[in-house]
Amino acid sequence: MQSTEQILASAPGSSQLPSTSQTPSRVLVVEPHPTLRTVLVQRLRQDGHLAAAVGSAIEAVDLCREQSPDLLVSAEILEQNTAMRLAQQLGCSVIVLTARSGVEALVSLLDEGADDVLRKPFGLEELAARCRTLLKRGRIGLQEKVAVGPLEVHLLLRQVTLSEKPVELSPREFALLCALLMPPGMVRSRQELLRLAWPPFSGGPRSVDTQVLTLRRKLEQAGLGEGGGITTVRQQGYRFSIDNI
């Protein structure tokens, strides 16, 4: 039987991994929804990880009989199992993907031992950033927030503050802001923003324009200035400009 690393390395798309002098991290995605797990593993491979995806805990255990992954990204509830129990079986760090809302659910998962928690729907760039942080730091600490000037995005609690005052955003607006902020200043096309902040096949370019408009208004009303820091780049897309703060 092939080892986990051999299977991950031979997974479709892994030949396109960028060259690196460091040993790539092994990341396993466990997600019942086939389209979502494909999108997640493709994004993780863009960061150079040896990433593979399966749909069940049984498949995950079979894949990892000889070698555990460095990081597990798993749906909270799996058939006859949970992300937390699976992580314990595999002996690795875990980012739990949950559909539950409320701080209580998040705190409960963290108290149970989750290294990080992401609420669905989430942006791909947010997931990628959290994976990078955990893999870099091991199990020591979490990237709790991204700060640009007076604007702070609290990733763990999914909250935004401006000069320490809360800014109320919808889940989609939050995911869109994360996509624009990681990193700030980068021009993001409408198609990129759809890929990063929307579930697969759930929106179009007009959806991006509409959400950018509402996000701008909320950031403006919060006091971030004209345009809310979001600049339209003609025929390219949008960027979050710290020059406007």
C-alpha 17, offset from chain centre: 19
Residue 205: CB atoms within 10 A of its CB come to 13
| Tokens matching residue 100 | 């539950």
Tally of residues, the chain: 245
CATH 1.10.10.10 describes domain 145-244? yes
186-218 per-position pLDDT tens digit: 888 898 888 777 765 667 888 999 999 999 999
pTM of the shown model: 0.54
Q: Are strands 116-119 and 50-54 parallel, antiparallel or unpaired?
A: unpaired
Q: Rounded to the nearest 5°, which phi and psi values hold at 214? A: -70, -35
Residue 25 confidence (pLDDT) = 83
Give start and end residues of each alpha helix (H) in the chain: 4-9, 34-46, 57-63, 83-90, 103-111, 124-137, 171-181, 190-197, 205-222
Query: From CA 4, how far away is CA 173, in angstroms rounded?
Result: 37
Query: From CA 170, how far away is CA 77, in angstroms rounded?
Result: 24
Cross-strand partners of 82: 77
Q: What single DSSP character describes residue 15?
A: G
Architecture of domain 4-11+24-137: 3-Layer(aba) Sandwich (3.40)
- Where do the domains of the chain lie? 4-11+24-137, 145-244
43-76 per-position pLDDT tens digit: 998 888 888 899 999 999 988 887 788 899 999 9
| 4-11+24-137 and 145-244, same CATH topology | no
